[in-house]
């Protein structure tokens, strides 16, 4: 309900987005297939999920941990992978006072079992459809904007875009503390090198690589304007990050002339 138009006559969203078919969700038992450090503060966890129906790029799942006394804690994590099959990859950032993420980042080992609910969410998703859209003259460029670990569902979209050899123009603006904190760094570089249709723009907020042209700083409206597809090209925009990051960026995008209905946001909370 963040739409700028609050009148009751506001048009419904594009049917293609609303009707996008996503697999039916359910509770599943997942076995941890592998874990690895993603960044100094995050782990990449590959799950083998019995009965998983596949998922669209951008969807999430809920992980439920149950203590011996019956206490449960459930948290949502974006899925970094997409498509058919029962292998699902998540990347989890450790929250210092978290109940679930410290366990997932530091304790979980291959062979451990987790309860997961998913795939979840049909709003913050992208599916390769450029051939149909292009034929109908409806292909619109896609702008992805990530803050920190908010890159996970956007990486899934970029990866699906590359795997489908989709010709839709994609641009990913990724705000991250330092080079060490980049999620899927090698994969993103390879995707951008392999496809002229994907452009990757990094903004470092605390520490830049040697020789980087600009000093580290948080994204400003001016940086945003310079690094995103202009409003005149009517991009579909996906923004994911901390609540503060997402709301700042979304407000600036509207000020820069982007249609609020073309901006889809996902807030993970945090600071």
Nearer to other proteins, 63 or 182 (CB): 63
Nearer to other proteins (CB atom), residue 64 or residue 207: 64
Q: Considering only 2-10, 173-181, 184-192, 210-218, which stretch makes contact with other proteins by CB under 8 A?
A: 2-10
Binding mask 90-129 for other proteins (x = CB under 8 A): ---------------------------xx-xxxxx-----
Binding mask 122-161 for other proteins (x = CB under 8 A): xxx-------------------------------------
Instruction: Please say which residue, 101 or 169, places its beta carbon nearer to other proteins.
Output: 101
Of 54 and 179, nearer to other proteins (C-beta) is 54
Enumerate long-range contacts of 66-70, CB under 8 Å, 24 or more apart.
Answer: 66/115
- CA-based end-to-end distance of the chain: 22
Q: What are phi and psi of 181, to 5 degrees?
A: -95, 5
| Closest approach of other proteins to the CB of residue 219, in Å | 19
Minimum CB distance to other proteins smaller for 119 or for 235? 119
Please say whether the beta carbons of 108 and 95 come within 8 A. Answer: no
CA 259 to mean position of chain CA atoms: 20
Site string for other proteins, 230-249 (x = CB under 8 A): ------------xxx-----
Q: Is 18 in the site for other proteins (CB under 8 A)?
A: yes
Q: Is 265 in the site for other proteins (CB under 8 A)?
A: yes
How far apart CA 115 and CA 37 sit, in angstroms, is 22
Count the alpha carbons within 13 Å of 65 in the hemisphere toward its beta carbon: 14
Locus of tokens 């700028």: 4
Rounded Cα–Cα distance for residues 196 and 199 (Å): 7
Tokens standing for residue 3: 């739409």
Please list, in sequence order, all residues whose beta carbon lies within 8 angstroms of the beta carbon of residue 207, skipping any fewer than 6 positions away: 177, 178, 179, 216
Binding mask 43-72 for other proteins (x = CB under 8 A): -----------------x-x-------x-x
Does 220 contact other proteins by CB under 8 A?
A: no
Strand segments, DSSP code E, in 51-169 are: 60-66, 72-78, 87-93, 113-120, 142-147
Contact residues: other proteins, CB under 8 A: 1-3, 6-8, 10, 12-13, 15, 17-19, 22, 24-25, 60, 62, 70, 72, 74, 76, 117-118, 120-124, 242-244, 264-271
């Amino acid at each position: 309900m963040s739409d700028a138009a609050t009148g009751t006559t506001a048009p419904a969203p594009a049917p293609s987005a609303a009707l996008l078919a996503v697999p039916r969700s359910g509770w599943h038992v997942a076995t941890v297939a592998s874990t690895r450090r993603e960044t100094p503060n995050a782990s990449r966890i590959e799950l083998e999920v019995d009965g998983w129906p596949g998922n669209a790029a951008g969807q999430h799942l809920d992980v439920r941990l149950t203590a011996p006394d019956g206490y449960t804690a459930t948290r949502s994590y974006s899925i970094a992978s997409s498509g058919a099959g029962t292998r699902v990859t998540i990347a989890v950032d450790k929250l210092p006072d978290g109940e679930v993420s410290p366990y997932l980042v530091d304790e979980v080992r291959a062979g451990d079992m987790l309860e997961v609910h998913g795939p979840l969410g049909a709003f913050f998703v992208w599916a390769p459809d450029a051939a149909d859209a292009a034929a109908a003259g409806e292909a619109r460029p896609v702008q992805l904007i990530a803050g920190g670990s908010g890159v996970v569902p956007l990486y899934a979209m970029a990866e699906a875009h590359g795997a489908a050899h989709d010709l839709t123009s994609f641009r990913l603006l990724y705000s991250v503390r330092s080079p060490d904190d980049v999620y899927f760094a090698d994969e993103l570089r390879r995707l951008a090198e392999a496809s002229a249709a994907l452009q990757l723009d990094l903004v470092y907020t605390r520490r830049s690589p040697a020789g980087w042209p600009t000093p580290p700083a948080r994204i400003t409206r001016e940086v945003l304007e310079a690094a995103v597809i202009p409003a005149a090209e009517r991009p579909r925009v996906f923004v994911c990050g901390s609540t503060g990051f997402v709301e700042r960026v979304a407000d600036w995008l509207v000020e820069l002339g982007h249609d609020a209905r073309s901006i889809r946001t996902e807030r993970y909370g945090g600071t």
